[in-house]
Amino acid sequence: MMVAQKLDFLRSIDRKYFDNAVKSLSAKPAAATAGASASAVKSAKPAKAGDIFAIVAKRVDGNSKLAKEVNAVLQFRVRDPETAWVVDLSGAKAEVKAGEASNVAATFTLSDEALARLAAGADARTLYQKGELKVDGDVAYAHKLGFLKA
Amino acid sequence: MKNRVNVIGVGMTKFVKPGTSPEYYVMAAEAGRLALRDAGIDYREVEQAYCGYVYGDSTCGQRSVYELGLTGIPVVNVNNNCSTGSTALWLARQAIESGAAECVLALGFEKMEKGALGAKFNDREPPMGLHVPVMLDLQGFTQAPPAAQMFGGAGREYRWEHGTKKETFGKISVKARQHASRNPYALFNQVLSLEEVMASEEVFDPLTRFQCCPPTCGAGAAILCSDAFAKKHGIKKPVYIAAQAMTTDYASSFEPKSMIRMIGYDMTKQAAKQVYETSGIGPEDIQVVELHDCFTANELLTYEALGLCPEGGAEKYIWDDQNTYGGKHVVNPSGGLLSKGHPLGATGLAQCTELVWQLRGTADQRQVKDARVALQHNLGLGGACVVTMYRRG
C-alpha cells in the first residue's frame, strides 16, 4: 500500500508491456472481446490506456495553445494493467510519451478503467473526491484534464 | 442578571493507550481529586456534577463521583460524541451563570477499545443517518475507518478547491508531536519528521496514519464557581469564561452537499462568531488555542472556521508557522488530539485544563508567552460544537 511499493512495481514493469504501449500509439485500436476480458489470466486484459493516449497524442502534438494553457509536464500512472505516460505541455513542444519523467508538476494515479471513464467525459473532480483519481503535486493541474476527453 | 463563571480548579490523568488504563471510575475520580485539590476545596462544596462519557452503560458518572463522596447532589450524565467533555463544561457554566448553583464539577472520562470508532447499536437508526447520505453521494463508502473517510473527504474537497499540497496536512502532525514532546500528560511524545508523517500508511487520502488521532484512555475535570464563591474561598484572579457557545447542525450541513460542511464547518463558524460577538474579542487578540484536531484535515479547516486565518489562507498560515510558538497563535500547545490523545469524554476537559494552565502561567515548557486570551474548540459529529473563550483576572 506504500507509495514506494507502487514505484518499485512500475520500475520493474514488464518491458513487453511498455513496447506494446508504444506500438499502440500509432496502431489501430485493438478489438476487445467479452471473452478476452473474462479470461482468468490478468495480464491478458487489454489496456485501454494505449488507445486513449494515442488519441490524446494526436490532440496534443504541436498544440501550442494547449501547452500555453497548461504549461506543465504531467505524469500519468495507470494501474490494472500498469502503464505510465508523460504528457509534456511545458513549452514549445507538446507531446505524449510512454514512461516516466522526473520534475513533473503533478502525478495522476488511476485505474485503466477510470481513465477510460475520464476520457469518455466523466468529471475529474468527482473521480478525485471518490478516490479513483489520486493526485500528487499541484492539484490545480487536475482541473486542466479536459484534453483527455474524446 | 448573568453571573460570571470562574474556573478555579482543573486536573487530568496522563493519557494512555487502550488496554493499559485503570477502570473508568478510577481515572475519573483521580481527575476529580486533582481538580478539587487545585481549587483548594472539599468535594462537599460541590453542588452539582456533570459527567461526560460516550461508551458505557447508564450512570457511569455516579460510579465515578461516588469515589469522591456520597453527598446526594444532582449528577447528570452527558454525551455529545467527541464534544462530550465541553458539553459537560457547557452545562456547568450554565448552572453557575444562571445562579442555579455556586460551585459545580464538570468531569469527563473515557476508557476506549483498540481500533477506530464504530457503532455499538446496530439494530437502530444511526445518529448520523442524515450525514452519511451526503458522503455516499459525494464519495461513496470504503473499508477505511468511517471518521477518516469523513474528515479525509473534507480534506480532499478543500484540496481540490485550493490546490493544497499533501505535505501541508502532514506538517500539522509534525507540530502536534513537537508540542506534545513537552507534555508529560500526552500519549505520544516522540517527535516526528515530515518525511515520517508522509511515509506512514495511507488511511484515507490525503490522511496518513500519523495524521489521525489515536483511541485513548483518560479523564479530565474542572471546578466552576461564581464570583461570590471564589471570594469566599480567597481565590484571587481566577481564570474565567469570557464567552461560550454551543451549536448543532444547520441545514447547510446537508444541502447543498459538501464534505466540508457535513463535518461541521458551519457549526464551528457560528459558535465562534457568537463567542467573538459576546466577548467583544476577535481572533487577532487570542494568543493560545486548543482546537479539535481529530485529523489534520480538521485542524486545517478549523483555522479558517475560527477566523484564525482568512478562508483559503490555511496553507500559507501553516507554512509561515503562524500556528506555533513565535507565530500569530499557538495552536494545540498540549499536542492536541493527534499527539496527546482523544479519550472522547475527557478531551473537552483536557483542553480546558491546558488553557487554564496557560493563562495562569503554569504550563511549564509549553508556556505561551503573554497568554491573556485563550480559545477552546471541541467538535462532535452528529453533532455539536462548543467554543469557549477564557481570560484571567
The distance of B240 to chain A (nearest Cα, Å) reads: 43
Task: State whether B166 and A129 contact (CB < 8 Å).
Answer: no
> CB atoms < 10 A from the CB of B144, how many?
18
**pLDDT for the residue A27:** 46
Pairing of strands B5-12, B239-247: antiparallel
Residue A24 has pLDDT above 70, yes or no: no
Per the model's pLDDT, the better-predicted residue between A149 and B377 turns out to be B377
The pLDDT-based confidence of A150 (bands split at 50, 70, 90) is: confident
- pLDDT tens digits along B199-231: 999 999 999 999 999 999 999 999 999 999 999
**A–B interface: beta-carbon pairs under 8 A:** 36
**pLDDT for the residue A20:** 53
Chain A CB contacts of B204 under 8 Å are 131
Interface of A with B in 93-132 (CB under 8 A): 125, 128-131
Question: Per this entry, what is the length of chain B?
Answer: 393
Alpha carbon distance B185, B171 (integer Å): 22
**pLDDT for the residue A44:** 55
Chain B CB contacts of A130 under 8 Å are 138-140
**pLDDT for the residue A62:** 85
The distance of A74 to chain B (nearest Cα, Å) reads: 15
**Cell numbers 451549536 label which residue?**
B247
Which grid cell sits at B389? 473563550
- Average pLDDT score over residue span A79-83: 93
Nearest to A2 among B142, B156, B201 (CB): B201
Nearest to A131 among B139, B160, B201 (CB): B139
Task: State whether B156 and A1 contact (CB < 8 Å).
Answer: no
**pLDDT for the residue A28:** 42
Spans in chain B with pLDDT lower than 70? none
**pLDDT for the residue A31:** 41
Pairing of strands B218-225, B5-12: antiparallel
Task: State whether A139 and B164 contact (CB < 8 Å).
Answer: yes
A5, A134, A135: best to mutate for the B interface, most B CBs within 10 A: A135
Chain A CB contacts of B202 under 8 Å are 1-3
Which grid cell sits at B123? 439494530
Per the model's pLDDT, the better-predicted residue between A91 and B313 turns out to be B313
Q: Which 3 state secondary structure label does DSSP give A135?
A: strand
Indicate the angle between helix axes B146-162 and B296-305, nearest 10 degrees: 50
**pLDDT for the residue A23:** 55
Alpha helices in chain B (DSSP H): 24-39, 60-65, 84-97, 132-139, 146-162, 166-180, 194-199, 227-232, 259-262, 265-279, 296-305, 314-319, 336-339, 347-360
List active site positions of B: 82
Alpha carbon distance B142, A77 (integer Å): 22
Chain B CB contacts of A4 under 8 Å are 199
The pLDDT-based confidence of A91 (bands split at 50, 70, 90) is: confident
Task: State whether A138 and B163 contact (CB < 8 Å).
Answer: yes
Chain A CB contacts of B259 under 8 Å are 129
Interface of B with A in 173-232 (CB under 8 A): 199, 201-202, 204-205
The distance of B201 to chain A (nearest Cα, Å) reads: 6
Chain A: residue whose CA lies nearest to B259:
A129
CA nearest to B272, candidates B247, B252, B254, B297: B247
Chain A CB contacts of B138 under 8 Å are 129-130
